[in-house]
Structure 1
Amino acid sequence: MKKDMDKFFITPILKRSMQKGLFAIFFLILLILCNGCAHNQEISGYSAPWKFAVVADTQGGNRKQEIKSSINETVLKEIVHDITAERPDFVLIAGDLVSGWIQSGSKDFKAQYAAWKTAMKPVYNAGIRVFPVRGNHDVGPERVVLPPLPAHLEPLPGADALLEQAYREAIAEFYIPDNGPDGEKGLTFSFMHKNVFVVGLDVCGNPQHKVNLKWLDNEFAMLDKTRKKLSDNSKAGSAEISSVRQDDKRLHVFVYAHEPAFQVRHRDCLAVYKEDRDAFWDLMGKAKTRVYFCGHDHLYNRAVVADSAGNEIRQIVVGTGGGRLVQWSGVYEEAKRVKGEHSVSGYHGYVLVTIEGNKATLIWKAMIPQEDGGIRWQELDSFSYILQ
């Protein structure tokens, strides 16, 4: 029963939610039954804490090797071990899974993603679902703001299509949603899990540095309709069902992609097209999104940026899960608007999110090297919010 119910809840709810007038009641009765038997949660909502993890930039490897590895096996092995021990419900991968298109000795694309899947096998085997989106290494060279590549670094003709094929084959799990816009199905998607709505965005494909705003607006509009339906029906049924609906009205919304929306270290990000970026930020604010996760910069950074209506959204660069460590000046390109809250360079790590009803707690777990060659995990940042 649990397996079947998991498939039901992880399936995108938005198009299904309006099919039948009694869907909300049916959904919530199933929700209570599933949570009660499978997760031993209280019937009054999602009071039992549950977790998910966010990782980015697992690409890397030893550049000194004649045949460069596509991932940083040493770091990723430690991250996989720690994530598996944390037992999250799912893991979001914010792009740059492998070295990808960079030639300099790289393995062929299918072999790269096979190495990544092998490294991630303990997570998959633990029944933890993995939801990747692509980064620039998974797509091809940046062609908008960065200088042209030297000829010897250019990927071979047709490499972009081969890379996309290898990526799609590697992540083709049955639970990856297929509800993205045309041209991005399986690459951009949304899904519901318990009291969390997640949107994964492909921002490194064609066009680069842009979000499909029409699709996202439609997803958020249908999410609002679902919220309203749950609210309108809140007086029907038992007190327990009404209580669960009250929690559903306060859905957490998380959005993630590879590139920051507001420039931190790399200028090849969504800030290339500021008007589109601002429209994206406003859509998230209107949908009550509180956190936008991203990678790309190979460091950890938490900043708060308000949309045009004053809604505060955190942009969290989740650190690097294997890519080379870098330093950053600490100066935001849009410093008047972006208010930095915490930044850490010099360690690999990932974000762990704990959901407890209408409260979310986000911690950044850093991998600290030890003198004896081992590592220890340390929480170097923590942030919480409560939905009202």
Structure 2
Amino acid sequence: MSQNDDKNDGLEPGATKGIDRREFIKRTAAGAGAVAVGMVMGGCGTSSSAATTSSIAAVVPSKTAWKFAVMNDTQWTQTDDGYNPNGTPVDIIAKLNQEFINKGVKFVVQTGDLTEKASSTGTTTATKTVNGTTTTYTYSNTAAEDMRAVFAQTLYNAGIGFFPLRGNHDSATTTATEFQRAFPQTQNGQMNTTPADVLSLTNPDADLQPSPAKSGSAFTLGSNFSSPSTDVNNLKGLSYSFDYNNVRFVLLDQFNPSNNLNADGTAYALGTTIAAQQSWIDTTLAGKPTGGHAFVFSHKGMITQDHTDVLFGNDPSAASSPGLDTFITSLKNNNVGYHFCGHDHMYDRSLVATSDGTTAKVMQIVGASNSSKFYYPANPSNDVTYSGGKRQTLAKQELNTIGYCLVTVDGSHVTVDYYSAPAYPSPVNGGVIATVPTLTFTKRETFGYSLNGTQFVVAAGSAYTTVQNTSTAGSGTVAKVLAGSNGYTVTDPSGRFFSATVNTGWYAANATASDILLLRGMSASLGSTQTDIFALSLTYDKTKVTDAQIQAGSFAMATPDDNGNWTNAANSSTGGTKKFVLGPWKSSYTLGTYGVDTASGTVWAVVNYNGYFAAVAGV
């Protein structure tokens, strides 16, 4: 694998085979979050030896791009099988840690529920069964929280940071105090400083799942740390924000602090604590790095598929969640890219709107389960039941998997790769696993946005021709989708269709005859980069190409190949027949056809994937 392969992991287009029928069945339940079974046809794939590539490097993403990961609920509710002590799924955590190390992330954010029993103030008696022998042991709620801290050590040893949140399973006042002590980085960014008594915590599974030993020195990640309250007995280090490079991270804790008070000094109440933090949220988001991004994290979501309890109340209705509209509007006005959350133990991505359905919308990403339990969407949906179906636009969903999100930040561009592995819970509509299966993580979807681009929401069955955008990166290149429709007709368990959230972004021209378009969001089936067939055009600078190159068909719309060099865009489609046309695009042209229209000054191609596109000579 070349350096460029690693650098572009998760960002480059390419032909991907559909999954087999066996995995299709395992990953879905009664058709929910279904993955269409695809077929790869011969034609113009990237492996063709006849493909002509340019030696011009496609320098996207840039060398300054960096990554962080998002994981979710880590709870073990089953009998301890010798690998998952103190109600903590260490077997899953260990495998995810290795994923994060392999992917080269700078740090990991966890969206709450660090363990199962940290909300209890009593002592928990656990049953452990290994090789037919059953024993019991006891542990406290703080020991449960500490066990999660112990197994974050693997990340610190690799120079990777960990920024956690509490969830409803970490909600006790004593857990608040222990969280602040066991994870001091939430107050100052100091990693690898876990208290010695936490690291020496008794591990009842040490024979099969030994605790990691500490190595290396302390290191700092992030800057400009703040909290809604500087009182260590209140929200300091529970709700907190920090900056890393050009991103502001805001992590929101809605659970009981040790002094039972909201940030404004009023008596603590689960449904009002975020509203009491709103002024801090507004100020913090408004102060994000100039020209940078902002991401918000919480445990509970704004509106989710299984749970009715949300970030602002017992259900997502306007009457039961006062403050939710203000919160969504604040995120929208401050250009928050994504709101990440957990709690629902399924992967679900959707646009969530204010109660009128129109004032403001924010992309919410509910993370897949990292625990022994899995949930299932309600029918009718919670959006229909509590909000008349006005607040939520579904984008993607996957059930019964263990997964995580890998987020790449490249200047003004953000790309999210969602990875998952089948978990096989029983029953499939809201079940559990007794042991952790072999986890083989595969990329399930790639999406993203750019500060210099535009988002287009295309409903199922609707045309992609609304996707038209002009570059502000330098050359004023115009991109247009000339034909193609959203053919993804899968529905969720409540019968709702999914919309495509198509995003454009731009890089300045770099030895190309146009600015570089980054196009994302049109892939249909989870697990495949293949999209519906569509025609795309880009305007080009006529001074950057010769008539001879145009006549020879060596000037065309191009995309990066597996080695990071520009290649004809037709080479990277799945199937089709490669054919050059000198002239304008016509609706009769099939997959693989590409051309140059000198009259309009455009290159065009009929393709079935997303990624980077530019007009390039010599391909």
Structures share a fold, TM > 0.5? yes
Letter in 1 for 2:227: N
Contact 1:57–1:298 (8 Å) recurs in 2 = yes
Select which of 259, 267, 277 maps to 2:300. Answer: 259
2:98 counterpart residue number:
81
Residue number in structure 1 paired with 2:182: 170
**For residue 249 of structure 1, what is the aligned residue in structure 2?**
290
Q: How many residues align?
A: 302
Provide Cα deviations, 1:192-233, integer angstroms capped at 9, x if missing partner: 111111100001333214454464434533653x57xxxxxx
Q: Residue 275 of structure 1: SS of its match in structure 2?
A: coil
- TM-score normalised to structure 2 length: 0.45
1:290 and 1:210 map into 2 onto residues whose CA distance is: 24
Partner secondary structure for residue 87 of structure 2: coil
Aligned counterpart in structure 2 of residue 299 of structure 1, from 322, 331, 346: 346
Identical-residue share of aligned pairs (%): 24
Equivalent residue for 1:197, pick from 248, 259, 262: 248
Distance 1:196 1:73 in 2: 30
Q: In the alignment, which residue of structure 1 is the partner of 2:147?
A: 115
Which of 186, 189, 201 matches 2:237? Answer: 186
Q: Distance in 2 between matches of 1:162 and 1:271?
A: 23
Which residue of structure 1 aligns with residue 129 of structure 2?
A: none
Report the Cα distance in structure 2 between the residues aligned to 1:167 and 1:361, rounded to whole angstroms.
31
Contact 2:78–2:372 at 8 Å: present in 1 too? no
Equivalent residue runs for 1:1-388 within 5 Å: 48-63=64-79, 69-99=86-116, 100-102=118-120, 104-105=124-125, 107-139=139-171, 160-173=172-185, 174-175=188-189, 177-181=225-229, 183-205=234-256, 206-213=268-275, 215-221=277-283, 224=286, 226=287, 249-270=290-311, 272=313, 273-307=320-354, 310-329=359-378, 331-334=380-383, 335-368=389-422, 374-388=438-452
Distance in 2 of aligned mates of 1:51 and 1:330 = 36
CA contact (8 A) 1:94 1:294 kept: yes
Deviation at 1:166, TM superposition (A): 2.2
Shift of 1:295: 0.4
Tell me, yes or no, if the aligned pair for 1:180 and 1:187 is still in contact at 8 Å.
no
Cα distance, 1:84–1:121 mapped onto 2, change above 3 Å: same
Larger fraction in helix: 1
Return the offset for 1:380: 1.8
- Residues 358 and 97 from structure 1, CA distance in 2 versus in 1: closer, same or farther, beyond 3 angstroms? same
- The alpha carbon displacement at 1:104 in A equals 4.9
Kindly tell me: are residues 77 and 217 of structure 1, through their superposed partners in 2, closer, same or farther at Cα, counting changes over 3 Å? Answer: same
What secondary structure sits across from 2:444 in the alignment? strand
Residue 274 of structure 2 contacts residue 312 of structure 2 at CA under 8 Å; is this kept in 1?
no
> Distance between the aligned counterparts of 1:222 and 1:167, measured in 2?
23
Instruction: Tell me the amino acid that sits aligned with residue 170 of structure 2.
Output: D
One-letter amino acid of the counterpart of residue 105, structure 2: P
Compute the RMSD of aligned alpha carbons. 2.8
Amino acid at match of 1:384: G
Shift of 1:127: 1.8
Higher strand share: 2
Contact residue 347 and residue 397 of structure 2 kept, 8 A:
yes
Q: In the alignment, what sits opposite 1:14?
A: none
- TM-score computed with the length of structure 1 as normaliser: 0.70
Contact 1:97-1:137 within 8 A present in 2 as well: yes
Per-residue CA deviations over 1:337-373 (Å, capped at 9, x if unaligned) read 2011111111111111111111111122112469xx6
Counterparts of 1:252 and 1:46, CA distance in 2:
17
CA contact (8 A) 1:318 1:364 kept: no
For 1:86, give the aligned amino acid: K
Q: 1:384 to 1:71 in 2, by over 3 A?
A: same
Query: Which stretch of the first structure deviates more once superposed, 270-279 or 185-194?
Result: 270-279
Q: Which runs of 5+ in 1 are unaligned?
A: 1-44, 140-159, 228-247
| Residue 175 of structure 1: how far off its partner (Å) | 1.2
Which has the bigger relative contact order, CA under 8 A and spacing at least 6? 1
| Alignment partners' CA distance in 1, 2:368 and 2:158 | 24
- Distance between the aligned counterparts of 1:318 and 1:222, measured in 2? 24
Please tell me whether Structure 1 or Structure 2 has the larger radius of gyration of its CA atoms: 2
Contact between 1:263 and 1:333, CA under 8 Å: does it hold in 2? yes
Q: SS of the residue aligned with 1:114?
A: helix
Q: Residue 369 of structure 1 contacts residue 376 of structure 1 at CA under 8 Å; is this kept in 2?
A: no
8 A contact 2:328–2:361 mirrored in 1: no
Q: After the TM superposition, which of the residue ranges 45-54 and 255-264 deviates more from structure 2?
A: 45-54
- The answer on whether the counterparts of 1:318 and 1:350 sit within 8 Å (CA) in structure 2 is yes
Distance 1:217 1:126 in 2: 37
